[in-house]
A = this chain, B = another copy of it.
Amino acid sequence: MFRNMIENVKNTTPLVHCITNYVTVNDCANILLACGGSPIMADEPAEVEEITSICGGLAINIGTLNRQTITSMFMAGKKSNEVGHPVILDPVGAGASALRTNTALDLMKEVKFTVLRGNISEIKTLAYGSGTTKGVDADELDAVSEKNLEISVEFAKNFSKETGAVIAITGAIDIVADKEKAYVIRNGHPMMAKITGSGCMLTAMIGAYLTANPDHPLEATAAAVTAMGLCGEKAYNKLQEANSGNSSYRNYLIDEIFKLDGEELNRGARYDMW
């Protein structure tokens, strides 16, 4: 199944409009190209509705939000809903400031999201309205583990039921859930937390997978999360061979997404259905 998801991306070159932060925007653009999509970044209110209309999907990331870009997020999100495009929200740092928490919550009121993707602290902030986020990283107490896996999956399913969005909680163990089914994904590598933007890149890439697989948001999201984790493992092997560090790791990770095909994704995927 994941094989179809990735091949649909590669065969259709989905154009994804990103309103995202200026920290990892270059990596987001390059990973969209790597996976077979095409990026366009635009955040000026005067053009975002037009830009989002010519694209196939929209990815909103609040990593370095400001007054101008917040306005654009609402405009583009609503326009995407209007024209029937998938929209994904990455609530970077929700819980770390009132502005981030409130912007994410308000966006959820006014825009129907196809997917919400974040770390567990960010997603809990969206669900409960306040959080314990430590900066832009998940609080360790919140982290999904074997111990709290059942309750975490249940939380994800319930939050999907409440919001209508696929919920993607990423960390050492990833959960991708709709109201009925959940993928519990065990691909990935701790090194992914040692670069900036592994979450942002995943969000952008899910944007491409959703756009290329409009009728399968759950599977498309799970495929993208699995692809990212698998390539994180492969990039780590390369890092060890080359005796490199985190900056090269970022390049290897994008490189591996570039090289990944459907057969390898199917073969390397490690997940259970819950």
Which positions in A face B, CB cutoff 8 Å?
15, 21-27, 29-30, 33-34, 38-44, 46-47, 50-51, 54-55, 63-68, 93, 96-100, 134-137, 194-197, 243-248, 250-259
Q: Is the CB of A93 within 8 A of B40?
A: yes
Bound Cα distance from A14 to B242, whole angstroms: 28
What distance in Å separates the Cβ of A242 from its nearest Cβ neighbour in chain B?
A: 9
- CB-defined A-B contacts under 8 Å, sample of 20: A15-B135, A21-B41, A22-B25, A22-B41, A23-B25, A27-B247, A30-B196, A38-B136, A38-B137, A39-B136, A40-B135, A42-B93, A43-B64, A44-B66, A46-B99, A55-B135, A243-B259, A244-B255, A247-B253, A248-B251
Bound Cα distance from A34 to B246, whole angstroms: 6
Number of copies: 3
Q: Is the CB of A134 within 8 A of B42?
A: no
Bound Cα distance from A40 to B24, whole angstroms: 12
Bound Cα distance from A62 to B117, whole angstroms: 30
What distance in Å separates the Cβ of A102 from its nearest Cβ neighbour in chain B?
A: 10
